[in-house]
Structure 1
Amino acid sequence: MTSSPDDAVAQFTAQGFVLLKRVVPDRVVSMLDTAVRRLTDDRGPDLTHSSFNTNPALIHVRDAANTIAEYHLLFECGALMSVPHRILNGSLQVLGTEVLRRGIYQEAHEPWHRDSGSYLERPYDELNGPLHLKAQVFFTDTRPKDSGNLVLIPGSHRWPADHKDDAYWKTANNALARGALPEGALSIHGAPGDAVVFGNTMWHAVLPNRTQERRSAIIRFGQAWLRPYDHPCDPATAAGHLSAESRRLLGYHSNTVNPVDLYKDPTSTESWSAR
């Protein structure tokens, strides 16, 4: 838990993650949670992305900012957005927006893994920051044990990219269903409105959920230069509820934009940390 963006960056640098308390107001949590439940009650499993369809207890919605009108309210939460902005040294864009609805499930919801594939799994670069990180915002209370808790291994963001001992991870994954964790691993217990921010090179998993349904949002952030140079998105294709600032964060730019401009200040002239 941290008290300022500076503290958050210091913890992220040392441990690879930071738990932010009450960075999303109750009103926003309630609005988003209601919208998520309404959407997923109506459409159910057909919203689950094919790469996540092996877990029958998960409904996973991608492109949530364009699908759920209330999602962009997360971008207006300065206490949340200032942290990835600082960690990425101001070179901030949103790579993906998702919501998760995890039901009761006796097995581990997700095995130990890193995100984004081998090309982004470089060791943490303290000078330039990570290439990719994400924030998970909790809508339901995950403070009780067996709440489908996210688990992390602090410091693993500095492990080499080839740290993939198959025997080690097989043993670790077999233990997940029992709630057992490797030495040094940490279980995250967040209240509604809390968020955990961690980098793509952090080893993480999700424990069994035996208490109540868990709902949350994920925002995937990346350095601005990860945006494809030749493929700016036409803002005409963005959902009408998105603000101009949200469109910039999500990479929507006019087809006439100079591609070099995408590498300068793609998010805002106003610093998130000044909010």
Structure 2
Amino acid sequence: MPKHKLNRSAREQWAIDGFLIMKGVLSRTQIKRFSSEVDRLQRKYVVRNPDVQNSSGLDRRNILPESPIFHELIDHPATFQTVLDLMGPHIQLSMAEAILRPPDPDFKGYIHTDGGQALRHIRVTETSWPIQLKIQYFLTDVSRQNMGNFTLFPGSHLRPYPEGDAPINAHTPGAVQVCANAGDAAIFPHSLWHGVSPNKSRRARKTLIYGYGQLCFRTFDFDGHSADVMKQCTPRQRRLLGDLGSDWRPGAYFYSPADQEKVMKGPRRRKRI
């Protein structure tokens, strides 16, 4: 499995287009394991839920407590170096999400930016560290358009989002529906206009999304983790989940611990037993 570190061409694409597509970051074994876990969550929260239609999709946030398998992507060796290259070492995990989008020819898709109303009005320069970014891991092949594709507008991370205008979607001029193989991943910042296309295929599209933010910002999907989750993680994973190595104190998240770069950039260590 490849280890990715940004070269000049990738840095230029990130600065100009606002996204990267990384090929083959997950092995076939990993794809199968993660896909099986998403299916399990679909059965747990949709199929067996009397208040939800069985045909509904899944959008499950904060999936780390659901299975230790999901911990593997917190700092996956095929993508985490790229996160550090783009964001620097003073970061945290802000979200972990599982999505299953079943076929739905009536769904028109949608486009948005991340981070709510405030971050929609905040954009960074081409050369600065991102405030936040996401990695979307594809668990199913999306080989042609209108299969529930991840959809984006290249270069839109530097432009104001058109609030108040007619809604934009996957078929608005300028939109690009990403065609990818299972095991590929897309990396993009909060300010990129992105979303999903209709799924007119015959099978569900499955993805996992992991978000990262600078340490001084609040997380998206959780406000801390249980002792059970933390004890299953490596030192670096615990740091990314908010364990600073000492008790909280005022200003704790403004200035990183002295060993922050060592923990972030060091080798991936085994989990505690």
TM-score band, normalised by the shorter chain? 0.7 to 0.9
Partner of 2:271: none
The equivalences for 1:47-62 within 5 A come to: 57-62=56-61
Q: Secondary structure at the match of 1:27?
A: helix
Match of 1:35 among 34, 37, 45: 37
1:232 deviates by 8.1
**Gap change, CA 1:234 and 1:165, over 3 Å in 2:** closer
Partner of residue 190, structure 2: 200
TM-score by length of 1: 0.80
Q: Which residue pairs with 2:88 in the alignment?
A: 89
8 Å contact kept, 1:113–1:204:
yes
Root mean square deviation, CA, Å: 3.1
Report SS of the residue matched to 2:216.
helix
Query: Displacement, 1:112?
Result: 1.7
Take 2:6 and 2:48, find their aligned partners in 1: how far apart are those partners?
38
Cα deviation, residue 164, structure 1: 2.4
Q: CA deviation at 1:130?
A: 2.0
Contact 1:245 1:267 (C-alpha < 8 Å) held by counterparts: no
Q: Distance between the aligned counterparts of 1:274 and 1:244, measured in 2? A: 11
1:107 & 1:272 partners in 2: Cα distance? 46
Map of 1:50 onto structure 2: none
Displacement of 1:204: 1.3
- The answer for unaligned runs of 5 or more in structure 1 is 48-52
Greater mean alpha carbon deviation, residues 241-250 or residues 2-11: 2-11
Q: Which residue of 1 aligns with 2:77?
A: 78
3-state SS in 2 of match to 1:166: coil
Does residue 1:17 correspond to 2:19, yes or no?
yes
State how far apart, in whole Å, the 2-side matches of 1:69 and 1:29 are: 15
The code of the aligned residue for 2:22 comes to L
Residue identity matched to 1:15: D
Instruction: Please give the TM-score of this superposition, normalised by the length of structure 2.
Output: 0.81
Whole-angstrom CA distance in 2 between matches of 1:258 and 1:270:
20
State whether structure 2 residue 247 is matched by structure 1 residue 248. Answer: no
Kept after mapping to 2: 8 A contact 1:81/1:272: no
Q: Tell me how far 1:264 sits from its aligned partner.
A: 1.6
Structure with more of its chain in helix, by fraction: 1
Question: What amino acid is aligned across from residue 208 of structure 1 in structure 2?
Answer: P
Show structure 2 runs of 5+ residues with no match. Answer: 269-273
